[in-house]
Amino acid sequence: MSRAEEKKLVLVVEDEEDIQQMVCYNLLRSGWRVECATSGEDALEIFAAKHPDLILLDLMLPGLSGMEVCRRIRNGADNADVPVIMLTARGEEDDIVAGLEAGADDYVTKPFSPRVLLARVAAVLRRKGGGERMPLITAGPLTIDPNRHHAEVDGRELDLTPTEFAVLSLLASRPGWVFSRDSIIDAVRGHGYAVTPRAVDVQVFGLRRKLGAASSMIETVRGVGYRLRREGKMSMANNVDTLLVKPDTP
């Protein structure tokens, strides 16, 4: 971010004034541009007008909830794949699962440190924005294009959430390899994450449903985790690491 025109715009949606100020102050100091909203309605208005590069979205808002804001953005025509990081209260596991299902890319639980938040923002933007092109991954009937966030099975496009896409990309990066639930969480969402194994199971359940006839490609390894069945001939990305997002260690 050496030049002004490269500064990314973050939309901060948060009704608690002290949290909003802390977040905005730290984002500005780190060289981001910032827009603030204190309600879901404001958030959608600013989103439509300013085209932010990323949204930090509090779930508990007066009026329209954060979850509903996320859903409307994802279902909209314009900039629908903007990265969204939810701000949630600690221990709200159901909210986290529902938020990820509504299409959020990541979440941070309150209270959080500015450094953790900034690391997550940078990681999500890196994951979504990426500079260099990544190679296609193919495994059996499955083809994944990490650059376009596009996956298809037997030529049929899969409509995946960002998290489902990340899980599928991870499994497909090493067909036959068993990934534990913990390693899936680490690879997809960053180390030290308070995601429960159940959240991984929810993602896999959704993936299998969308894979349809090819759902058996994802095998459950009892007591361990999941793997993509090794079958047919497959070519692998050499550059698998680019798919695995590791958190920053500031």
Binding site for Ca ion (CB under 5 A): 15, 58, 60
**65 in Cβ contact with 37 (< 8 Å):** no
Q: What is the CA radius of gyration of the chain?
A: 18
Shortest CB 144 distance to Ca ion, Å:
36
The whole-angstrom separation of Cα 52 and Cα 188 is 23
What is the number of residues in the chain? 250
User: In terms of CB distance, is 35 or 58 closer to Ca ion?
Assistant: 58
Q: How far apart are CA 229 and CA 225, in angstroms?
A: 13
Q: Which residue is nearest to Ca ion (CB)?
A: 60
Nearer of residues 37 and 195 to Ca ion, judged by Cβ: 37
CB of 15 to Ca ion, least distance (A): 5
> Nearest 5°: CA angle at 51, between 48 and 54?
120
Greatest CA separation for the chain: 56
Give me the DSSP letters along 105-129: -EEEEES--HHHHHHHHHHHHHHHH
Q: Which tokens in the block code for residue 8? A: 């990314």
Q: How far is the CB of 26 from Ca ion (least distance, A)?
A: 18
Nearer to Ca ion, 67 or 139 (CB): 67
